[in-house]
Structure 1
Amino acid sequence: MDLAELKHEELLLRFFSAAEVEAGLDYPRLIDALFETFRRGGEAMPVRQSHEVGAFGAPGHLLLMPAWQRGTALGVKLVTVFPGNASRCLGAVSSLYVLLDGTTGQPRAMIDGEALTNRRTAATSARASRHLSRKDAHTLLVIGTGRVAASLPMAHRVVRPIKRVLVWGRNPQRAVALAAALSREGFEAQAVVDLPAAIAEADIVSCATTSTEPLVMGKHVKRGTHLDLIGSFRPTMRESDDEAVCRSRVFVDTYGGALAEAGDLLQPISAGSWQPSEICGDLHELTRGARPGRIHDDEITLFKSVGAALEDLAAASLLVGIPLGNPPPDQQS
């Protein structure tokens, strides 16, 4: 329905709780929406602004992430990242998303940003996995025990036959709790303490942490593995070492975001062991078929995601029921 035809009361600002976001953004539909959005490309998606806002010697970051498609929708996500929140039994990431009408500029919705981020982040990883992981991948290692990490197995299960999930975390009790929760979702899930052994066993390694030191070492990665690196979003953060990057065919969510923020890539570049020209493609190129994804089963692939505002806009629009436009002719992988 055209926005001009909507009744006034239907344009009133709505608030979507975390439960409503999770219920309204099932992974199959969201993964498909992200596919169409990245294939089409967004009109505007500035590299996000990041500001240090920590207090009392503890780190804290404020991120501003706008995106828009002219005449349809525009939105901005306000994000805070406080890594020390784990000691307070709180998530490290908090956020709020504001969606506005692209024709009038009027607010359409305020959305629980954390739930939106968790869903679209996991769905983006699954979208990339459909291009980059082996089709028979069935063992997933989740490194991290936060809310994004907890979302990853359900999303990856949509695109690959994931049956077994290994969970590693710095806090073994949280890893055990997450494994138990995943078992209730139908996975063969277990917490692990030997991270190198788990990396060597996994078909897909999904890392969602706020680490500043490498956790995934290239020497432990077996041939055919897909590395899904999500957590680091600043040049000083990283989840993999140089060898993991150098052994892999590397893909990113967006060139601009990755080369501005991804410590997993910027640090090997600074060390002279890897070059930006070695990036094999971004999600726009993968979804359009302009760049090949996985070429053979023995190669190691790496997807580095720093998060893109276009993902938020696509997820929020899907939730509210605003079509972002018709994609180009289908080029499914």
Structure 2
Amino acid sequence: MKNDFIIYLTASDLKKLLPMSEAVRIMHTAFSALSAGKVTSPVRLNIPTANDGQALFMPVYSPEIHAISIKTVTVSPENSQKNLPLIHAMVSLFESETGRQIALIDGEYLTALRTGAASGLATDLLARNDAKSAFIFGAGAQAKTQIAALCAVRDLQHISIFDQTFAKAETLVDQIRKDFPVHYDAVKDSANLANADIVCTATTAKSPVFSADQIRPGTHINGIGSYTPEMCEIPPEILAKARVFVDQRNACMAEAGEIISAVNAGLLKDANAMHEIGELAGGKTTGRENEQQITVFKSVGNAVQDLYCAQVLYEKALQHNLGMRLPVN
């Protein structure tokens, strides 16, 4: 008998149900399915809203897991002045055979979790095995899960965190120190960036947050903050000498400012100069070719990440009797 309710899952529920290590494994499955053409995932709809805000709509369908989801996201830059989150989001999950909605899931934490997990997957597949240090640009909601993901796949010893507001970097260090036993530094500049084995950019910057000559050979870079053609966290020049992976070619060619700039400048020939992380996860291409090679994973975020996590969360919520039951009649 079908359930006559929709499960509503809060951020607190998600933290209980889905640890980062499992989320990284789910990303392996999700991106493999995406690159193999097993899901329908169009480029997101982006609508400009009040005060330079955005409303984003991200649908996806997977016959493989018999599910559909759509994530609705609002981005309101002025919220920082109102002590409100920059992003609000919700994910709706449906059965594909009946079209029946079965879950409503907090999209803010899920976005941070699956974005971190994507970087965890890319780091696991591309970073050197002996990577010990990381540098994080940005100290917002995404930074915490980026760190959690890196610590899930590499035995890190030192992490530096930079934010334009130094106090935010200090606060983040205080918050995460107890969760991950690593030496942390809140830094006021990127002077020690060349010491990093792994770099993560989690900002909404419209110009590169570091220069290409600050990156030493063998570094792995995760770029996850920018998601419009106007944004650009990573210097396009670095892409010309790196092995570049993306979450989805079509999406990054349409939305990733770094990729668009590099192609327009002739630094990347075209979309075929990049590989999808799902192709690597699925064994269709190779990753790092040597210890000196710079590798880059650029992600603008894909709805397949939300869908595959949401399906697992729904099943585990039923199993563990977690979440609020919302009657449908």
Q: TM-score, normalised by structure 1?
A: 0.90
Deviation at 1:156? Answer: 1.2
Alpha-carbon spacing, 1:201–1:40, altered in 2? closer, same or farther (3 Å): same
Deviation at 1:11? Answer: 4.5
The equivalent position to 1:189 in structure 2, one of 184, 193, 215, is 184
Alpha-carbon spacing, 1:139–1:11, altered in 2? closer, same or farther (3 Å): farther
Deviates more, 1:270-279 or 1:235-244: 270-279
Alpha-carbon spacing, 1:121–1:11, altered in 2? closer, same or farther (3 Å): farther
Alpha-carbon distance in structure 2 between the residues aligned to 1:27 and 1:131: 16
2:127 counterpart residue number: 133
What is the CA RMSD across the aligned residues, in angstroms? 1.5
Q: Deviations over 1:94-124 (max 9, x none)?
A: 1110001122111111100001101000001
Q: TM-score, normalised by structure 2?
A: 0.91
1:84 counterpart residue number: 78
Deviation at 1:247? Answer: 2.4
2:246 counterpart residue number: 252
Residue pair 1:182, 1:189 contacting (<8 A) in 2 also:
no
2:204 counterpart residue number: 210
Structure number with greater CO (CA < 8 Å, separation at least 6) is 2
Deviation at 1:199? Answer: 1.8
Alpha-carbon distance in structure 1 between the residues aligned to 2:229 and 2:101: 34
Percent identity between matched residues is: 31
Alpha-carbon distance in structure 2 between the residues aligned to 1:290 and 1:275: 21
Q: Which ranges in structure 1 are unaligned for 5 or more consecutive residues? A: 1-6, 323-333
Deviation at 1:277? Answer: 4.6
Residue pair 2:218, 2:292 contacting (<8 A) in 1 also:
yes
Partner of 1:224, secondary structure, is coil
Alpha-carbon distance in structure 1 between the residues aligned to 2:236 and 2:25: 33
Alpha-carbon spacing, 1:278–1:223, altered in 2? closer, same or farther (3 Å): farther
Alpha-carbon distance in structure 1 between the residues aligned to 2:203 and 2:132: 22
Q: How does 1:71-150 map to 2 (within 5 A)?
A: 72-150=66-144
How many residues are treated as equivalent by the alignment?
A: 311
The equivalent position to 1:224 in structure 2, one of 218, 224, 241, is 218
Residue pair 1:30, 1:318 contacting (<8 A) in 2 also:
no
Alpha-carbon distance in structure 2 between the residues aligned to 1:11 and 1:32: 31
Matching of residue 279 in structure 1 with residue 273 in structure 2: yes
Alpha-carbon spacing, 1:18–1:277, altered in 2? closer, same or farther (3 Å): closer
Q: Which ranges in structure 2 are unaligned for 5 or more consecutive residues? A: 317-329
Matched AA of 1:167 = I
Matched AA of 2:112 = N
Q: Deviations over 1:228-252 (max 9, x none)?
A: 0001000000101222222211110
Q: Deviations over 1:293-323 (max 9, x none)?
A: 111111111100000010000110110118x
